[in-house]
Amino acid sequence: MMIKCVPLGAGQDVGKSCVIVTVGGKNVMFDCGMHMGFQDERRYPDFSFISKTGNYTQAIDCVIVTHFHLDHIGALPYFTEICGYEGPIYMTYPTKALAPLMLEDYRKVMVDRKGEQEQFSVLQIHQCMKRVTAIDLRQTIKVDADLEIRAYYAGHVLGAAMFYVKAGDDTVVYTGDYNMTPDRHLGAAQIDRLEPDLLITESTYATTVRDSKRARERDFLKAVHTCVAAGGKVLIPVFALGRAQELCILLDEYWERTNLKVPIYFSAGLTMQANVYYKLLISWTNQKVKDTYVTRNTFDFKHVTPFERSQIDAPGPCVLFATPGMLSGGLSLEVFKHWAPSDANMIILPGFCVAGTVGSKLMSGKPTKIDIDKRTQLDVRCQVQHLSFSAHTDAKGILDLVKHVAPRNVVLVHGEKLKMVLLKNKIATDLGIPCYDPANLETVEVESRCLVKMGISKQLLKAPVNQSIIQQATAVLPSAAEMAKEMNPVALPDAQRQLQTVHQGQQLPHVRAGVPVEGVLIMEDSSRIKLIHPSEVESVLGVASHGMSFSCMCPMYLAYLELLSVRTEEATTALEPMTSSAILHLIYLHLVESFGEGILEEKEESIQGKSIHIRVSPETSSHNLAVAKGYHLQGTDIDGGGIPALVLACDWHLEDDALANRAISILQMLKLKLS
Amino acid sequence: MKLTALSCQEHLEEDPVLSCHLLEICQTRVLLECPLDLSVLAIFLPSFQSKRKSHTDVMSASLSFLKENSGQVLIEGEPWYKTAELGLVEVALLDAVVVSNPLGLLGLPFLTKNPDFSAKIYMTEATAKIGQLMMEELVNMHAEFIQVHGRSRDGQLPSWLNVSTLDTLPAILRDSIVGRSLAGRSNWHLLYNKADIRDCMAMVHRLHYGEEANIDGCLKIKPSSSGLGIGASNWTISGARRSVAYIAGSLVTANSVKAFDFPALEGSQILLFGDVEFADESSTISPVGAPTLSSERGGNRGSGEVSGALRPDTTASDVRPQVAAVCKAAVETVRRGGSVLIPSSPFPILLELLDEMAVQLASVNLTDIPMKYISPAAEEMLAYGNTVPEWLCPSRQEKLYAGEPLFGYVDLVREEHLCGFKALHSADLQTVWQEPCIIFASHWSLRMGPAVHLLHRWRHNPLCLLILIEQSLDVELILAPFKPLAIQVLELPVQSRLSPKEVISVIQKVQPQLTLVPEFLLHKKLEATESNHLLSYRTGCTVRVPHFENQLEVQMSAELALQVQPKPVKPSKVAAALLHADLWSRDGIWSLQPASMAKCSGDLLPGLQSFQYRWGQVNVTALLTALKDRGLFDIHIQETASEEVGNEHFTTGDLKLEVETAVVEIRSPSQAWIEIRPNSSHIKADDPSLRHLIAAAVHSVLNSL
């Protein structure tokens, strides 16, 4: 079956992440974000793509939100409360707890400060969140009978998760945003080798390979310290949750260590409130924070105090964390307008800035004038620092993740177009995995594994173990061992050990890897497909099997036997006195020499093994021996019209044809050796 | 599949024992729980009373370690700890240990100390956290005994455990030590230390509810909430051919933690009840005061309505009736000016008790009554309780979303009405000490820890109240060292297992094909259900669980499926195809991939390829045509109407039947014969290539896949 993947947002772009995946007949929406760079209808994903009639509940089987950033969840209240989606929504506990804060903050900024028309109300945010099912990490949730989802730790922000979706036999992993290195309050992303049919990964830093985190932190602290020491003010625009906590921990610890008294402010309310949540959600942080929360909760900051709007123009140095990030509006933009004109001050942009925001304008080059909006232009004299503190993985991390998860196909989203192409090529060539970077509303189709499920008989499942012992013991092992000996003398004991373990586990159906089996596949009219052991065919199909067997005569001349007796130490008595059973024994020894022990055995005047029987033909009389000896002494027994000392009668069943032919050819080979 | 009960209740009247089972399923050996029987600690003298003269020595000098008090004989010395019958477990062969709740973890370090131990250990994250706290608490409190008695030498049995001494002990004491056979001696161990706990916990795989773990690719196990306490779980254990739902200590009644998860267990073939209440339903809340002790019953009844009326939200709350009763009794006592001692452990209900106590105190305006939790685990447990939203019931999860503390006690801690202290002698505790107060203290066995000292302090005060909340304690024995007592004693055991009635309802909901229950339950309680689907087990015995006929399944890769071309088979309406493939097994799932061996080493395995299944009869005319097609023309047919077969040794003796045989003789390029019988053909030819040519011809006129 085909798996379809359409980004409604974040296709060759960052912002309004929203990817629709059709997998195993189910439609799953990953993330439902908004674009921070747009103020018009382009800020939301184009939901009309999903359903022309607007019946989204029917069209989408479930919505999965990876984390609480607005570009991943911003459009959710709009989608549920205004577009009317009523189906299931899943997110992790922290995301469910923190998302309303983010949404409410955004709503306030838009409505109160920008005077825009309200997109959704407080009530609608709460109604929306009520529909959400919170899930725990690694917990397998059954959305319905054929649809399973599971969250993995993604590290990006508190509660960020990657999602594994299994519909029928088809599997998809959607990473959301993730970070492959642990930071001060979060761990690194963790996921299993899931080998999904499709991996959809973010690619924010598709080409960047970042230096060590320690160096970045040192730069950050140095810049802040230098600025405040000179009496300047430092503005750090952040989102209330995520980097804000990380940088607060960093600064708080530094202030403690260096005994600095310069105030650190946090733009009121939200972040203080956020810290309460962080304390409840300790189990989602990293090990170090978890280990110390009893004695000292990392989120109780000593040096951080709330900020009042009246303090904007207060004299003296300070550090201010102001929301929102990217200087997209609100307090951070307001403070920026006040502080930017002074060259003593500093703006630190700690993360990625979406195109269209003031933050991204600051980052491109070194502008001295910035257009805040159509009417306002601002002189920028302050220092502008950009420090990559985004908790996104870098290019190496993305490649590591792809390698680790081992998908059959990769789709890149959430990145910049040109950089994504480079990464796409790298994945395709270096890892050999087909990779796509669809633009918004562009469909990617990949093929899934299409496993066929069928019944299997117990007899067949038990067979491979027994069968493999026999096969390895007969043909495979000696030759394989010979090969191994030539190539690598150490490998031999390994092969033998393997054989032994198979022996020990004879009754165990724990077949681990690639054991050859032979079965018969039966398809009845409408019922299931079943695989049975060949020996069961008779009863299942109701037919009588037709056996095939062979026999042949194999003359043994005295010359052969002499050859054998010379080579076989114990037969130094040569051929005197000679009985047919003594000759048979000689032949047996010869065969064992090339077959190894355990396959053929001497029994009742014959050599037997599986269905093979080698006997002295009744036509051979003891008289033959004497006559043959006469010819032999003349040297004419083989080509001079002489008679063989005895004739071996061999017979066997078709199943053992190969083995029998090999035995006979060994005997006939003697002739060649003579000449 | 086999189940060996290493410890379970044998009879209704017997003291309950924590459950412990060995499950052998799909060639994997899984130990279910590894608990300690801490109720037998009661046979030892409390640490602080040792080496005092207040007890009379009993009997001879050789039994000088026995002390008598109030008619009970107790052992003076460092206590040892009793595990289940782990002697029946071959430690080296164990593949996994599954622990459902902190109580099932307490004995695990004894197992992991064994150098042969290599099994994987699974439990929920919360169980690991609380369990570790409880083990450390135990080691901390046990240190009191070491202070008094000195450290026992390794490898030396205490005198009371010697075979010779055992016979001379009072029968009751001997029974609690070794049970009915002397084999029980090996279940006693000297307590582990902190390093052992650390080593043990380092081996633990920590899971979330609903997280699947894999044991050696053979078994999948998954915990689901059992409703007993934070992180307490039941398990589904499934292999390729079996699936078991294992019910450990569970509660189906609503409380503060995630409710018993029925859907997770549905679809399991076998339901295994590990831990079941033996008491009747009716006795769950009834306080059973010993006749010599004053009972709280009367006082309770009067105040019941008052506090009930003050809490109009009772019906909507998640508080269990037993918890409410405990708190009610405590509040009554402090109102009278007495202090309350509740010996308790961090699991399962401590946090709920704290919460409810705060509510009830507030409802009667007694918020200035200090509450204290004194245990080596106190501070961590209090802090931990506020970080576990994932493990709690929906109404408490709502508190997370609202940004409120998960438990009400957190506010009390902030306001310093509730404090946690590591030990009674903490300097901080001395400064804030104030009576009356409500104290939660460890250990509930009343043999060590702060609870012992507090009971000793208050035992003569008739205003004070001791509330025993653990199940099925031998109250007489437990209180013996403290006698005479004036303090009031209230027994309010809080349910921690399913009752027989609930067992039946679980069976009805999960609908398994077979249910495994402890033996006593089968005889007494489950007559109502269809007993033909019940199997019972008892300690020390192994139960074999019969196989079910079930369809085994294998997955075939699309690549292989395309290679298969089934042909219709004439007599029956089916299509069939011969299949060569590689069989893989991963995580208990079998799959078929295109054969790799046959391709790369084709000559090495000719047998595998040439085996073709054939059926039908050889039509001689068709065979002649087939032979001619292969360039064999010099053919003679000898129709033999009947011939006695059996002289060929490969048709075994019992086949000496009269059968139709046709012989086809080929004279060039060399001589060969084909003997055709209804269900077999035999080819005689000395030239191998001719032999194969003829075989191919015969094969072509038969039906094959």
Q: Which tens digits make up the pLDDT trace of B64-115?
A: 777 777 778 888 888 899 888 888 889 999 999 999 999 999 999 999 999 9
Q: Could you tell me if A397 and A154 are in contact, meaning their C-beta atoms sit under 8 angstroms apart?
A: no
Q: Could you tell me if A334 and A312 are in contact, meaning their C-beta atoms sit under 8 angstroms apart?
A: yes
What are the chain B neighbours of A611 within 8 Å (beta carbons)?
Answer: 650
Task: Determine which helix (DSSP H) or strand (DSSP E) holds A135, and give its type and residue range.
Answer: strand A132-135
Q: Are residues A64 and A118 in the same domain?
A: yes
Confidence of residue A470 (pLDDT cuts 50, 70, 90): very low
Amino acid at the residue B142: H
In tens, the pLDDT along A134-184 reads: 999 999 999 999 999 999 999 899 999 999 999 988 999 999 999 998 888
Q: Give every CB contact of residue A128 below 8 A, 6+ residues apart in sequence.
A: A76, A77, A80, A81, A120
In tens, the pLDDT along A8-54 reads: 998 998 889 999 999 988 999 999 999 877 878 888 999 999 988 88
Q: Count how many domains chain A has.
A: 4
Chain position carrying tokens 């011969």: B578
Q: Count how many domains chain B has.
A: 4
d(CA A244, CA A239) in angstroms, rounded, equals: 6
- Indicate whether B195 belongs to any domain: yes
Nearest to A514 among B218, B596, B649 (CB): B596
B332 CB neighbour count, 10 Å cutoff: 22
Nearest to A659 among B211, B593, B607 (CB): B607
Cross-chain residue pair A508–B679, CB shorter than 8 Å: no
Q: Residues B587, B593, B595, B600: is their CA dihedral positive or negative?
A: negative
Q: Are residues A529 and A567 in the same domain?
A: no
Q: Could you tell me if A409 and A5 are in contact, meaning their C-beta atoms sit under 8 angstroms apart?
A: no
Chain position carrying tokens 């075994």: B652
Q: Are residues B233 and B355 in the same domain?
A: no
Nearest Cα of chain A lies from the Cα of B570 at a distance, in angstroms, of 9
Q: Are residues A510 and A524 in the same domain?
A: yes
Closest CA to B284 of B251, B315, B331: B251
What are the chain B neighbours of A653 within 8 Å (beta carbons)?
Answer: 650
- Under DSSP, is residue B246 helix (H, G, I), strand (E, B) or coil? strand
Query: Given this model, what pLDDT does residue B454 score?
Result: 92
Q: Are residues A378 and A405 in the same domain?
A: no
Query: How do beta strands A26-30 and A62-64 pair?
Result: parallel
Q: Are residues A139 and A218 in the same domain?
A: no
Q: Are residues A129 and A169 in the same domain?
A: yes
Nearest to A510 among B218, B387, B695 (CB): B218
In tens, the pLDDT along A540-565 reads: 777 777 888 888 888 777 777 777 66
What are the chain B neighbours of A644 within 8 Å (beta carbons)?
Answer: none
What are the chain A neighbours of B688 within 8 Å (beta carbons)?
Answer: 552, 661, 664-665
> Residue B642's domain spans which residues?
614-704
- Indicate whether B122 belongs to any domain: yes
Cross-chain residue pair B554–A454, CB shorter than 8 Å: yes
Nearest Cα of chain A lies from the Cα of B241 at a distance, in angstroms, of 10
- Indicate whether B672 belongs to any domain: yes
Q: Are residues B535 and B395 in the same domain?
A: no
Cross-chain residue pair A651–B648, CB shorter than 8 Å: yes
Q: Could you tell me if B85 and B7 are in contact, meaning their C-beta atoms sit under 8 angstroms apart?
A: yes
Instruction: Round the average pLDDT of chain B to a whole number and report it.
Output: 80
Q: Are residues A97 and A195 in the same domain?
A: yes
Q: Residues A428, A431, A434, A440: is their CA dihedral positive or negative?
A: negative
Interface test with B, best of A508, A521, A525, A535 (most B CBs within 10 A): A521
B134 burial via Cβ count (<10 Å: 0-12, 13-18, 19+): buried
Please list the residues that pair with B81 across neighbouring strands.
B189
Interface test with B, best of A518, A607, A619 (most B CBs within 10 A): A518
- Indicate whether B54 belongs to any domain: no
Phi-psi region of B33 (alpha: psi -120 to 50; beta: other; left: phi over 0): left
Tell me which residues of A are annotated as active site: 202
Residues of chain B with pLDDT under 70: 8-17, 50-63, 154-155, 179-183, 278-318, 472, 523-532, 549-550, 570-572, 587-588, 597-612, 639-660, 705
- Indicate whether B549 belongs to any domain: no
CATH number at residue A304: 3.40.50.10890
Q: Tell me what the mean pLDDT of segment A575-585 comes to.
A: 69
Q: Are residues B305 and B272 in the same domain?
A: no
Q: Are residues A218 and A307 in the same domain?
A: yes
In tens, the pLDDT along B245-259 reads: 999 989 888 788 999
How many residues does this entry show for chain B? 705
- Of A513, A542, A571, the residue at which a domain comes to its end is A542
Q: Are residues B418 and B517 in the same domain?
A: no
Q: Could you tell me if B436 and B369 are in contact, meaning their C-beta atoms sit under 8 angstroms apart?
A: yes
- Of B610, B637, B657, the residue at which a domain comes to its end is B610
Q: What CA dihedral angle connects A147, A150, A155 and A159, to 10 degrees?
A: 90
CATH number at residue B320: 3.40.50.10890
d(CA A17, CA A5) in angstroms, rounded, equals: 13
Q: Give every CB contact of residue A41 below 8 A, 6+ residues apart in sequence.
A: none
Residue of chain B whose Cα is closest to the Cα of A479: B604
Nearest to B686 among A537, A553, A665 (CB): A553
- Of B590, B610, B630, the residue at which a domain comes to its end is B610
Alpha carbon B630 to its chain's center:
69
Q: Are residues B116 and B213 in the same domain?
A: yes
Q: Are residues A347 and A418 in the same domain?
A: no
Q: Are residues B348 and B448 in the same domain?
A: yes
Q: Are residues A309 and A334 in the same domain?
A: yes
- Indicate whether B62 belongs to any domain: no
Nearest Cα of chain A lies from the Cα of B572 at a distance, in angstroms, of 6
Q: Could you tell me if A631 and A644 are in contact, meaning their C-beta atoms sit under 8 angstroms apart?
A: no
Nearest Cα of chain B lies from the Cα of A32 at a distance, in angstroms, of 20
In tens, the pLDDT along A478-513 reads: 333 343 333 333 333 443 444 333 333 333 344 456
What are the chain B neighbours of A531 within 8 Å (beta carbons)?
Answer: 554, 579, 592
Q: Tell me what the mean pLDDT of segment A221-234 comes to.
A: 91
> Residue A530's domain spans which residues?
455-542
In tens, the pLDDT along B547-606 reads: 776 677 888 888 888 888 887 876 667 888 888 888 887 766 788 888 775 443 333 334
- Of A349, A369, A386, the residue at which a domain comes to its end is A386
Q: Could you tell me if B554 and A517 are in contact, meaning their C-beta atoms sit under 8 angstroms apart?
A: no
Nearest to A97 among B400, B601, B606 (CB): B400
Nearest Cα of chain A lies from the Cα of B582 at a distance, in angstroms, of 4
Query: Given this model, what pLDDT does residue A510 score?
Result: 43
Q: Are residues B630 and B594 in the same domain?
A: no
Nearest to B613 among A461, A523, A545 (CB): A545
Buried b (16+ CB within 10 A) or exposed e, A156-189: bbbbbbbbbbbbbbbbbbbbbbbbbbbbbbbbbb
In tens, the pLDDT along B486-531 reads: 999 998 888 888 888 888 888 888 888 888 988 877 765 555 555 5
In tens, the pLDDT along A273-315 reads: 777 888 889 889 988 888 888 777 778 788 888 888 888 888 8
Q: What CA dihedral angle connects A575, A577, A583 and A588, to 10 degrees?
A: -90
Query: What letter would DSSP give residue A52?
Result: S
d(CA B596, CA A43) in angstroms, rounded, equals: 53
Query: Given this model, what pLDDT does residue A635 score?
Result: 67
At A345, list the tokens. Answer: 């001050």
Q: Are residues A507 and A429 in the same domain?
A: no
- Indicate whether B205 belongs to any domain: yes
Chain position carrying tokens 């990949």: A446
Q: Are residues B272 and B393 in the same domain?
A: no
Closest CA to A105 of A125, A86, A91: A125
Q: Are residues B646 and B687 in the same domain?
A: yes
d(CA B705, CA A522) in angstroms, rounded, equals: 11
Q: Are residues B408 and B509 in the same domain?
A: no
Nearest Cα of chain A lies from the Cα of B421 at a distance, in angstroms, of 13
Query: Given this model, what pLDDT does residue B109 score?
Result: 95
Interface test with B, best of A149, A152, A194, A280 (most B CBs within 10 A): A280
Interface test with B, best of A548, A603, A607 (most B CBs within 10 A): A548
Q: Are residues A305 and A339 in the same domain?
A: yes
Confidence of residue A133 (pLDDT cuts 50, 70, 90): very high
Q: Are residues B243 and B265 in the same domain?
A: yes
Complex ipTM:
0.81
Query: Given this model, what pLDDT does residue B616 score?
Result: 78
Query: Given this model, what pLDDT does residue B100 score?
Result: 94
- Of A354, A369, A386, the residue at which a domain comes to its end is A386
Q: Give every CB contact of residue B616 below 8 A, 6+ residues apart in sequence.
A: A543, A546, B702, B703
Q: Give every CB contact of residue B530 below 8 A, 6+ residues apart in sequence.
A: none
What are the chain A neighbours of B607 within 8 Å (beta carbons)?
Answer: 471, 474-475, 655-659
- Indicate whether B532 belongs to any domain: yes
**First-residue to last-residue Cα distance in chain B:** 38
Cross-chain residue pair A523–B574, CB shorter than 8 Å: yes
**In Å, what is the CA distance from A343 to each residue of A234, A334, A336?**
11, 17, 12
- Under DSSP, is residue A40 helix (H, G, I), strand (E, B) or coil? coil
Q: Are residues B690 and B644 in the same domain?
A: yes
Closest CA to A259 of A287, A237, A238, A229: A229
Residue of chain A whose Cα is closest to the Cα of B25: A508
In tens, the pLDDT along A79-130 reads: 999 999 999 999 999 999 999 988 888 887 777 656 667 778 889 999 999 9
